[in-house]
Amino acid sequence: MSDKKIKSPADLLALRDKAKEDVELRAGGKALRITVHMGTCGIASGARDVLKQLAAELSAAGAKDVTLTQTGCAGLCDQEPMISLTDATGSMVRYGKLDAQKVGDIVRQHVLGGTPIVDYMIRA
């Protein structure tokens, strides 16, 4: 809606509601935290696109108990772009070498379905 002009009070209310959703997505204290690694290496590899894709996928799915954050480099530059998913118990899964398809799969299968995708995980 940001490319369109506001023509009515309904348009303004819709814009407000979308902004509230975006702010809520970045608020803490949720069951799952997704962190996009945005160091120089991550950004050069496409981390900004991953962040945008995650935000769009989570919003479209209506995911309410997820916090989306960003951080710097995690020291695994060859795995970028990369995200970490941390649940309320502190258990973490890290995914690497991401693209739009993998991000969608992760949201559907792991975030919404609760099943981590082993093939996309970074293994130490």
3-state SS, residue 39: coil
Per residue in 82-106, pLDDT (tens digit) is: 999 999 888 999 999 999 999 999 9
Query: Which of these, 84, 85, 92, 80, lies nearest to 112 by C-alpha position?
Result: 85
What are the C-alpha distances in Å from 48 to residues 8, 71, 80, 94, 113? Answer: 32, 12, 11, 17, 25
Per residue in 35-84, pLDDT (tens digit) is: 999 999 999 999 999 999 999 999 899 888 898 999 999 899 999 999 99
Tokens 């299968």 identify what position? 109
pTM of the predicted model as reported, rounded to 2 decimal places: 0.76
